[in-house]
Chain A
Amino acid sequence: MYSSLVRLQNTFGFFTTVAFVVALLISASDFLSPRTPTVNVLKTTQLQTVKGRADYYSSKKEEYAIIKFTLDADLSSLFTWNTKQVFAYVTAEWPSAQNNNATNQAVIWDTIITAPSSDHLGNFSPSKLKRLRKSANGKGIDPSRGKLQLKNQRLKYPLTHPTGRLANTEDVQLKLHYNVQPWVGFLSWNQVQDWGKWKALKNGLSKKFTLPAIKVKEQAKKKTTRA
């Protein structure tokens, strides 16, 4: 500590140590707040299987599934002072035909829910940012965030299978997942079982459904009956 430079270096060194310990405490404090995410409704409202191409010029015709679903979930308990964002997504899952253990899984919808402390990072339009700031009201936690209410929501991404066959697939289920991204600490996803104050997601799975067959055109049917 004999010269200013040495004092500067030593003070900064201890500052980084203190910062690390404080970050550790902050991420540990997350375990003290309970997590009780719940899903009230997760069901499909419309199912369709159509034939289509991946893009305009591809020659291979594949089968695509069109699913519209309703989701009513409350993820607001996932937000603490240390939460930066919650990434929620819905996947469609069904067991593989050949291999008994494999599951086909495709994300059909997702969203990023920012916490009030990270609203400025959300790349929102000025009016939306203003609305979010108003609802947060200067506090670190906004209870209205994380409440998902989707009605008849359509797919965000095309749903198909590498084999190109998707019609009549049985035991398809919709499942809600979430990923909590903190300011400091480990990432966490939806749990399989309860861990202390953190409860697993209730009702995260929809009922099993079967994807319908491709619609046969009415004219072709009439021809066969006549003959």
Chain B
Amino acid sequence: MAELLEQARDIFEGQIDFEGQKLVENLVNISLSIVGAIAFLVGYFLQDIKLAVYIGLAGTAATFLLTVPPWPIYNKNPVKWLPVAGAAPPTNIVIDEKMLR
């Protein structure tokens, strides 16, 4: 039961690594700006406001589909966690410019 919940939680949480987050941030900004620009220009030159609204909404839906689910592209640089405590402490850690052993 707990395993199932864990799996469900992972799916809903949709974590991605930091490089993926940077990519998503840029993608969202660029994608929505382009969608807005295209919607306005197409509507203005074809003088059709319904078309402008439909293009805008469709482009936004596509952006959502592209950025909200945790696609594998966003997980290409997973975080390198340190080994669990209890194993031999790693040497040469520098904290506050003092070398620990």
Q: Which residues of A contact B (CB under 8 A)?
A: 1-5, 7-8, 10-11, 14-15, 18-19, 21-22, 25-26, 29, 80-82, 117, 139-141, 183
**Residue contacts A-B, CB under 8 angstroms, 10 given:** A1-B21, A4-B12, A4-B69, A5-B13, A7-B14, A8-B64, A21-B36, A22-B39, A22-B56, A117-B48
Extra 13 A-B pairs, beta carbons < 8 Å, given A1-B20, A2-B21, A26-B49? A3-B13, A4-B13, A5-B14, A11-B28, A11-B63, A11-B67, A19-B56, A21-B36, A22-B36, A81-B48, A82-B49, A139-B48, A140-B49
Instruction: Find chain B residues with CB under 8 A from A3 CB.
Output: 13-15
State in angstroms the CA–CA spacing of A8 and B64 once bound together: 7
- B64 CB contacts on chain A under 8 angstroms: 8, 11
* Residues of A contacting B15 in the complex (Cβ-Cβ under 8 angstroms): 2-3
CB of B84 within 8 A of chain A?
A: no
Assuming A26-B40, A80-B47, is B16 touching A10 (CB within 8 A)? no
Contact of A4 among B32, B36, B47, B70 (CB under 8 A): B70
A197: min CB distance to chain B, Å? 16
Q: List B contacts of A21 (CB < 8 A).
A: 36
**Which of A8, A10, A81, A139 is the one whose CB lies under 8 Å from B44?**
A81
- Judge if B82 is at the interface, Cβ distance under 8 Å: no
**Interface range, B side:** 20 to 34
- Contacting B24 at CB < 8 Å: which of A7, A29, A141? A7
Query: Complex Cα distance A183/B5, Å?
Result: 48
| Residues of B with C-beta under 8 A to A8 | 64, 68
The answer on a CB contact under 8 Å between A140 and B32 is: no
Does A11 contact B68, Cβ atoms closer than 8 Å? yes
**Minimum distance in angstroms from B88 CB to a CB of chain A:** 31
In whole Å, how far is B57's beta carbon from the nearest beta carbon of chain A? 9
Give the shortest distance, in Å, between B68 (CB) and chain A (any CB). Answer: 5
Q: Which of B35-83 contact A (CB under 8 A)?
A: 35-36, 39-40, 43-44, 46-50, 52, 56, 60, 63-64, 67-70
